[in-house]
Structures are given as structure tokens and as C-alpha cells.
Amino acid sequence: MSEQKASDFDVLIKPMLEVDVPDVLEVERQGHSFPWTEAIFRDSFRGNYRLWTAWVEERLLGFAVVAYLFDEAHLLNLCVSPKVQGQGIGRRLLRHLVAEASLDHIWQIILEVRVSNDAAYHLYKSEGFRQIGRRPDYYPAAQGREDARVMAFSLRD
């Protein structure tokens, strides 16, 4: 896959399984300065969570973790391997989780994104999410804390 982009291949989105956790952790550690722990991922295998993985040529290259609460979904984590970022895998995951939320009769998806994460912010914005607020000092940062933008996507008019 070195010469071709991940988007040149079929991206397979499927539910995350517990056996996927080691590969998910590897992507998480590569993609985040303050990665989730294995325990956090394992704790996400509950009935009110939806966990998705993105595969290209049998390689796990991204994932998403969504918590459902009544008729609202909270996108807790979406991460793509830095080696293939910008090639459409994150967008495919996002579109998949939005479609699944719609099928599950969810009316709104919310998320937080680091103020410094312009790529993710523009992805969410281009897919119809809008900023609805800000959470001061939400994320740990190399020098203290960083604010989060709160974004929402409505699945109903």
C-alpha cells in the first residue's frame, strides 16, 4: 500500500471486536498524544456503545467509539492511523456511524474536538456538524490543558 492511497482500495467498516483491541491500541497510540488505555477500550464493549473499525487490505487503519444515551449519540473517539490520514478513511467512518445512528433512531450526534485539530474540525464541518459551544481546559496538552469545540449533527429537521 506504499505507492497507492488507502482511498484507492475498498475500505471495510465493521463492528469492533475485543480481539481487535491490540490493533486499535496501536492506531490510538500513533494518532493521539494522550491515548486511551486498553481498559477504557475494553470498558466500551457495552450495549449502549457502538464501536466501529475501518480495514484496508486486512489492516485495521481506523476506528470510532460512540456512546448512545436515549436518543442522542456522543462520538467519543475517532482515530485514523497517521500513515493514511487525509485519504478518506475518517470520512468513511464518520458517514458510517451517522448512518447507523439514523437507523437506531438517534436524533443528534455530539462530539468534542481539540481547538488545535484543524483537520478533524474541517472534516466534521464538511459533513454537516456545527459548533454549538466550547469546553475550556477539556483536553490534556503538552503545556497544561486545551479547549474543545463542541459540535453537533442533527439527524432530524
Rounded to the nearest 10°, the torsion over CA 13, 82, 32, 113 is -70
Is 48 annotated among the ligand-binding residues? no
User: Is residue 40 one of the residues assigned to a domain?
Assistant: yes
- In one letter, which amino acid is 62? G
Query: Is-catalytic flag, 112?
Result: yes
For the domain that residue 48 is a member of, what is the CATH number? 3.40.630.30
86-107 pLDDT, tens digit each: 999 999 999 999 999 999 999 9
Q: How confident is the model at residue 3 (pLDDT cuts 50, 70, 90)?
A: very low
**Domain tally, the chain:** 1
Residue 156's pLDDT is 86
In a domain, 149, yes or no: yes
Catalytic residue among 28, 58, 100, 124: 124
Distance separating the N- and C-terminal Cα atoms of the chain: 41
Q: What is the sign of the dihedral through the CA atoms of 107, 104, 45 and 31?
A: negative
Please state, in angstroms and rounded to a whole number, the distance separating the CA atoms of residues 120 and 80: 11
Q: Where are the beta strands (DSSP E) in 25-155?
A: 49-56, 59-69, 72-80, 108-114, 130-141, 144-154
Q: What is the pLDDT of residues 27-79, one digit of tens each?
A: 999 999 999 999 999 999 999 999 999 999 999 999 999 999 999 999 999 99
Range of the domain at 58: 6-154
In a domain, 14, yes or no: yes
Q: What is the pLDDT of residues 117-141, one digit of tens each?
A: 999 999 999 999 999 999 999 999 9
2 Cβ neighbours under 8 A, 6+ residues apart: none
**What are residue 154's phi and psi, to 5 degrees?**
-95, 130
HSE-CB for 58 with a 13 A CA cutoff: 0
Structure confidence at residue 157 (pLDDT): 66
Query: What is the model's pLDDT at position 1?
Result: 42
Residue 4: is its pLDDT beyond 80?
no
Residue 1, domain member (yes or no) = no
DSSP bridge pairs for 13 = 54
Please report whether residue 19 resides in a domain.
yes
Active-site pick, 49, 100, 112, 139: 112
Give the distance from CA 58 to its chain's centroid.
19
